[in-house]
Amino acid sequence: MNVQPIWRISRADLDKLMTTLEVNHVRLSECALAAGTRLEVGRSEHPTIHYGFAGSGVIHVEGEPPIDICAHTLVVVPARRTTTIVAPGVSGALARSHGGEQAVIFVPGASPRHTIGGAEPALRVGCGSFVALYAAGLDLFASQAVPIVETFDAHDQLDQVMNYAMSELAAQEVGGGPMSAALLKLVLLSLLRRCLISTNPWVERFSILNDPPIARAFAEMANRPSAQHTVHSLSQSVALSRSAFMARFAAAVGESPMAVLRRLRMRHAASLLAANALSIDQVAMQAGYQSRSSFTRTFRRHFGTDPSEYRAEAKRISQCEPADSST
């Protein structure tokens, strides 16, 4: 029986999502596991990605059934979930860590290559974490509840893209971070394309863009974060009642409209502070705050630092970049 997802994103909405996708905070490592070993991947505040290069094994995600992984299998695990990668022994015995001791918790990106066991690898997998933002503010995977699993083919060449991204990070050359982020974005774009054809239920989570009024309201907030938006004004702008708008927005985005607006404003304020062209009072106004004190309190809660300190740190980093590039 051919089971299709109940909801599927339209081609136009998917194209819009893919056009505005931003990927950052990328951390990647190649992990090689000998037969009969296992790797504990550290719990991350961001979603983690696992791509099979060669061999076969099993991924155990907290609270989920085991996931088979082999060459060209791509798995995206929700944030804050424990993950164990297992390379079964020849007899299928329970995998162990190297030396029979408890497995060491590995944080992707801590080293370019991590090896478990001294024998030839039975499973090679790329492991990493990332942040993917849509429309300059919405975390695309923030409300992900279950792992995403898709199997690609050799002609998709995702293994080459992943290897290239890991090489960029390992080389630690100028631009390595942006290059690796751009390369991982290609991987995620290939995954998003599957929304149109995959029969796996994970594609339903991206159908939120099939709600045009909510998409328009979000775009209005993203494009004009300084405007005095309210639930009433936003619901009126998309011809929905207040209650219907609140319910549909929460169902589509996973947060209330005002919580999303606050994050959009803080992102906008951070970019203005880094540009160092406006006073803090002017930045507060541009971010939609009439009071500097209110703006400062919100900024501190969001970033853990005051706007002036954030600006000073951004300036320090920008001044260090030319020196770094000449080494």
Q: Which residues contact 313 (CB under 8 A, 6 or more apart)?
A: 305
Q: What percentage of the chain carries pLDDT values higher than 70?
A: 91
Q: Given this model, what pLDDT does residue 292 score? A: 94
Identify the three-state secondary structure at position 146.
Answer: coil
For residue 165, name the pLDDT band (cuts at 50, 70, 90).
Answer: very high
Q: Tell me the pLDDT of the chain averaged across its residues.
A: 87
Domains defined for the chain, CATH in brackets:
11-206 (2.60.120.10), 211-315 (1.10.10.60)
**pTM (2 decimals)?**
0.71
Instruction: List Cα–Cα distances, 47 to 52, 117, 252, in angstroms.
Output: 17, 27, 19
- Average pLDDT of 169-188? 93
Mean pLDDT of 249-259: 86
Contact between 165 and 219 under an 8 Å Cβ cutoff? The reply is no
Per-residue confidence band for 4, with pLDDT thresholds at 50, 70 and 90: low
Give the separation between CA 37 and CA 59, rounded to whole angstroms: 12
